[in-house]
Amino acid sequence: MPTVVRSYSKINLGLVIGPVRPDGFHGLTTLYQTLELHDLVTVSAARAAETKITLTTNDERVPTDAKNTCWKMVEKALGRLDIAAEVSIHIEKRLPVQGGMGAGSANAAAALIGLERELGAALPGTERLQLAGEVGSDVPLFLIGGTILGLGRGELVYPFPDIPSVFCVMAIPEVGVSTPQAFRDWDALELTQDSKPDRLKELSLAYASLHAEPGTSGIIRGSNPGNKQGGSEQAQGSQQDDLAENTLLSLVRTGVENDFERVVFPVYPSLREIKRELMGTGRKAALYAALSGSGSALFGLYRSEADARAAQQRVQDAGTKALITKTLPRSTYWSRMFAE
């Protein structure tokens, strides 16, 4: 029986680009957040005398040979496991290609998870993350899920205290943005800029400050004497909503932003307008809105489903596809992984 894996997506809650490193990659600091929106990756595998991989998909833009991240992941994993197998992979694409939602990277992680279940064999945790980082900078985050701090070129991942689930609207423009070109444009922009502080370090400190012990600033947050014990499910849900909102607002106050917006928006002005529609104004305004990764997808996070639906309508009225989803905490990410 084939294994069907939900290949979840991600957004970036802020992204700072550092200088080019000796290995040619840029240093990054980002906070990843997984979402409920997903592709489906189906894996069938059986041990054999020699390895054979076949890959199919419902999207003609997705490569079906060794250039595909799923193919690379499975081939490398079998080599490390010292197992030969016949493997069939089918990718049902629901997420945009070149959308900044990590779809191809998530597919690779899902293919590994499916392969391990099919063969009843798995790599040690640290080796899995190392392998994932070799396949792609965004792949390791999908072996953790939830809210994740990304450093290095994004492949050094550290589980972060989960932000409670909130409503999210994803705007899916028809245009695709090339990540390598976005980095080239960033390098060209940086050549014209004066020297500035170490923003990688600044953003890392800002992220860390979000989860300082309550009261360390002299302000006791989240205190509600009337609900010290028990409480109704509605009250507990309200407290979770308040925690999510307070955490996200604290994040916004740090000045978090996505550096890619500085080079992507001038090339694709329509994306800046979509961000404005997502953000909105007044009481129904988004808690936070931004480009995800290098784009082209953008997102907004909202206090309520009603606010999210209003934002979805604004974006769609302006001519762009928009989907409502929710952020996906780590425990839920893994409990829903297999589509059985």
- CA–CA separation, 66 and 89 (whole Å): 12
- What pLDDT does residue 227 have? 43
Catalytic-labelled residue, pool 10, 72, 93, 275: 10
- What pLDDT does residue 245 have? 73
| Catalytic (active site) residue 242 | no
Same structural domain, 106 and 192: no
Catalytic-labelled residue, pool 138, 185, 259, 307: 138
Same structural domain, 172 and 299: yes
- 298-302/321-326 β-pairing: unpaired
Residue 52 bridge partners (DSSP): 86
List the domain range (segments joined by +) for residue 122.
3-162+331-335
Residue 258 token pair? 């996505």
Name the strand (E) or helix (H) holding 281: none
Q: Are 69 and 139 in contact (CB under 8 A)?
A: yes
Q: Is 255 exposed, middle or buried (0-12, 13-18, 19+ CB in 10 A)?
A: exposed
- What pLDDT does residue 122 have? 94
Q: Is 196 exposed, middle or buried (0-12, 13-18, 19+ CB in 10 A)?
A: exposed
> What predicted TM-score, i.e. pTM, was given to this entire model?
0.85
Q: Is residue 56 part of a domain?
A: yes
Name the strand (E) or helix (H) holding 289: strand 288-291
List all residues 6 or more positions away from 70 whose beta carbon is below 8 Å from its beta carbon.
41, 55, 89, 91, 107, 108, 110, 111
Give the CATH number, domain containing residue 266: 3.30.70.890
- What pLDDT does residue 222 have? 42
User: In terms of DSSP H, where are the helices of 20-169?
Assistant: 69-81, 103-119, 125-135
Output DSSP code: residue 90: E
Give the CATH number, domain containing residue 112: 3.30.230.10
Largest interatomic CA distance in the chain: 66
Same structural domain, 98 and 174: no
C-alpha angle 188-193-197 in degrees, rounded to nearest 5: 120
| Catalytic (active site) residue 138 | yes
- What pLDDT does residue 196 have? 58
With a cut of 50, list the residues of the chain below it in pLDDT.
213-230
Same structural domain, 173 and 143: no
